[in-house]
Amino acid sequence: MDLANKVIAITGAGQGLGQQMALSLAKCGANLALIDIELEGLIQTEQQCQKMGVIAKSYQANVTNEEQVVRAFGQIDADFKCLNGLINNAGIMRDGLLVKQKEGKLSAMSLEQFQSVLEVNVTGSFLCGREASKVMLKTDSKGVLINISSVARAGNIGQSNYSASKAAVAAMSVVWAKELGRYGIRSVAIAPGVVKTAMTDQIKPLAMERLLSMVPVGRLGQAEEIAATIQFALENDFITGRVLEIDGGMRM
Ligand SMILES: NC(=O)c1ccc[n+]([C@@H]2O[C@H](COP(=O)([O-])OP(=O)(O)OC[C@H]3O[C@@H](n4cnc5c(N)ncnc54)[C@H](O)[C@@H]3O)[C@@H](O)[C@H]2O)c1
């Protein structure tokens, strides 16, 4: 797919990886539908993309809220009359051990802590994937659905919730590739390693040291490196139903 004048929706576009994806795709001439729960970052991304000469519009929505997602994609359909890509990037991390016993005290991951991560990372990707596909079919747009998975999908200590969610979105990409290929829609998952953003700034120094020791290239990834992989997945029409690993060689 040639990205010039194509319409790409990105969730979680207000900061971090999503913001960088928007800027990199704007550089290629893509028009952007930017979605985030937080308006402030969204407007910043929108303005920076517009300065690059493309059409960029903001849609404030919580990806876990069906009504808000349906409304946002209905508005994207009305505004652009086509949709060529969705990047399901909005995600959260709320780490904790399944159970922990220290000095006779027992603690555990709460159901709320588990479900909140599944809600954003999995339900949010499902809802946006479903609504984006409807717009693609309705407007006869050829498109690509990209889920952002993670190296943690293999199972990382302290991440029962996050690892489960990132394995789930990788599996959904395979399902969507099989179901939607007949309509000219591809689906890809991208599994980044540890990349410097506000999300990974939450990781405690000791845990970060342990993670870095597992990365053969010996450093954190950069948001631009993930955005370059997104561009590759969008442009290469022979990629579908696969997980692209961009992690400096890290293995869990
Ligand atoms: N940073 C990393 O090292 C890394 C590694 C692997 C995968 N990822 C994944 O990449 C994606 C982006 O990560 P990041 O590091 O840029 O995170 P981030 O926390 O910097 O940004 C996440 C964005 O998602 C938005 N968001 C959160 N909940 C939302 C909701 N319910 N509805 C709409 N928007 C919502 C936030 O407002 C924010 O703008 C996530 O899915 C994350 O799991 C990140």
* pLDDT at position 203 over 90: no
Structure confidence at residue 202 (pLDDT): 85
State the Cα–Cα distance between residues 241 and 252, nearest whole angstrom: 22
Could you tell me which of 47, 52, 40 has the C-alpha nearest to residue 15? 40
Among residues 162, 168, 172, 189, the one annotated as catalytic is 162
Verify whether ligand 1 is closer than 6 Å to residue 14 (CB atom).
yes
CA 15 to chain centre: 12
Verify whether ligand 1 is closer than 6 Å to residue 18 (CB atom).
yes
Phi, psi (deg, nearest 5) at residue 16? 55, -140
Verify whether ligand 1 is closer than 6 Å to residue 19 (CB atom).
no
In which band, very low, low, confident or very high, does the pLDDT at 250 lie, cut at 50, 70 and 90? Answer: very high
Amino acid type, 77 = D
Q: Are 234 and 226 in contact (CB under 8 A)?
A: no
| Angle, helix 39-51 to helix 16-27, in steps of 10 degrees | 20
Amino acid type, 162 = Y
pLDDT tens-digit map of 155-193: 999 999 999 999 999 999 999 999 999 999 999 999 999
Phi, psi (deg, nearest 5) at residue 222? -110, 145
Q: By alpha-carbon position, which residue is closest to atom 36 of ligand 1?
A: 12
Verify whether ligand 1 is closer than 6 Å to residue 248 (CB atom).
no
Ligand 1 center from residue 17 Cα (angstroms) = 7
